[in-house]
Amino acid sequence: MAAMTKEAVEVTAPAGTVPYSRLDTMFFVVGGVSAVWLTSLLVQLSFQWGWAQVWFLFIFWGLLAYLVLPRLHRILTRLYVPDYFIGRARTSDGLLGDPVNVALLGSEPQVHRVMQTAGWTLADDVTLASSRRIVTSTLLRRSYLEAPVSPLFLFGRQQDFAYQQEVDGTPGKRHHVRFWRCPPGWMLPGGLAVDWLAAGTYDRSVGLSLFTLQITHKIDEHTDVERDHVVAAITGADPGAEVRVIRDFSTGYHARNGGGDTIITDGDLPIVDLRNTAGVPAESDRSATDSRNKRPAPTIVGAVLVGARAAAAVLLALSLVLLRDAHVSSLLQPGAGPAVTEAQAEAAVTIATVMVLLFALVEVLLAWFVFLGRNWARTVAMALSTAAIGLQAFDVFHGGPDITLQSNLPGLALDILLLLALSSKRSRDYALRPRKEPKRYSSRAGGRTAN
């Protein structure tokens, strides 16, 4: 048996190191501007809805809090928030998040073991199921020991994993700490090498974010207390853990976190050395993986919206088939355009039906490749939505028909939501994630070797 002669290699650079292309930047900005336009349209249409204005308030808040403000923050923070390590994590909107207040030396199994031995619980990943469960557990004050924590970003990626301790039998209050593996060769300012960085804070309640108006956990302002709680839990669980402290390591940029909560800290950074502790996890170890390899919600939503566009095309094709006579008659009516014969009208409807069905098929395939995380598919989907939004805007601002709920608002909203989803950082990072070429084999001299 011949030995492998070629290892799998990365075919893309890590997303965190790939600068935004002009095309991605354009889609990102157009998505933000379009979201503002959609919000203004909803405000105008709300005055026509009568009693439905009550529901409009929820729609308006949801659009503002989860689409418009996050995108505006993301655009602005790319301009004024430093893109290098300053002792703070960042939210998915680009805002400064919780302070990074613990560093660690040691392997991942050592981190898992000491945290589990100390009585902390590994948090679930953020999924639709876990998100639904934490909402119901918080509202009904039910215990959810593995409740997920929101993603914060360091080194261009979200935390590798998080641990927590529930308080009062509800996820509304809890101790929690996020962990990020440091990139190979990376050093703290001053030249110290560590293996992990962590951010520990205490969730005291649930409320609205000051900056985005989203529903989120509110943290206790005295983050040093939680930092010391995390370190004490580790050293109490394993006497082999050693601690040294860098005084006044990070005192700048500490005023509020991404939810608008006040932060008070002395800036000290304890470094916990776990290299002399045991390395076998106390419980089953869920190995951390690069967060860019986890399919994010915006990519899934984008794929669904592309599929919705395909479904709309299929419905239009069905209308052309089932109501063929009506469509032919509309082309024959005076004033519908240049005079055409009945045969020409029927041919036009047939061609239109075929074209719409082909468009639907292309959209289905595009939705699948977007779901798989192919960057070309993401780019094509965003380009189609950008073109559709641009045509709508050009038509409206040059005396065309107004946007109405009964006519073109649903299609416009679909394209804007699709553009927002696929132009998000998480969707872009997933599309540009490191991928490995499949190993190819061929038979040679009775053996199998890599090509």
Question: Rounded to an integer, what distance in angstroms lies between the CA atom of residue 410 and that of residue 267?
Answer: 50
The mean pLDDT value for 295-307 works out to 90
| Distance of alpha carbon 93 from alpha carbon 72, whole angstroms | 8
Report pLDDT for 451.
Answer: 41
3-class DSSP assignment, residue 264: strand
Q: Strands (DSSP E) along 145-224, which ranges? A: 153-154, 157-158, 161-167, 170-181, 196-208, 215-219
Helix/strand/coil for 380: helix
Is residue 45 classed as helix, strand or coil in its secondary structure? helix
The single-letter DSSP state of residue 3 is: P
Confidence check: pLDDT of 160 > 90: yes
Residue 309: which H helix or E strand, with range? helix 297-322
Counting Cβ atoms within 10 Å, is residue 343 exposed (0-12), middle (13-18) or buried (19+)? Answer: exposed
Report yes or no: 418 and 302 within 8 Å, Cβ to Cβ: yes
Tell me: the pLDDT tens digits for 246-269?
Answer: 998 876 556 777 777 788 888 899
Tell me: the pLDDT tens digits for 222-248?
889 999 999 999 999 998 899 999 998
**What letter would DSSP give residue 243?**
E
Give the contacts of 247 (CB within 8 A, at least 6 positions apart).
268
The pLDDT value given to residue 231: 95
Structure tokens at 92: 């998915």
431: nearest Cα among 361, 386, 365, 380 = 380
pLDDT at 154 over 90: yes
Say which residue, 374 or 445, is predicted with more confidence. Answer: 374
pLDDT average, residue stretch 309-336: 80
d(CA 104, CA 125): 22
Q: Distance (Å, rounded) from C-alpha 146 to C-alpha 276?
A: 28
62's CB contacts (< 8 A; 6+ apart) are: none
Q: What pLDDT shows up at residue 406?
A: 60
| Pairing, β 102-105 against β 269-273 | parallel
d(CA 198, CA 180): 6
User: Per-residue pLDDT tens for 400-448?
Assistant: 666 666 667 788 888 999 999 999 888 998 898 876 654 444 444 444 4
**Arithmetic mean of pLDDT, 145-152:** 88
CA–CA gap between residue 233 and residue 162 (Å, rounded) = 15
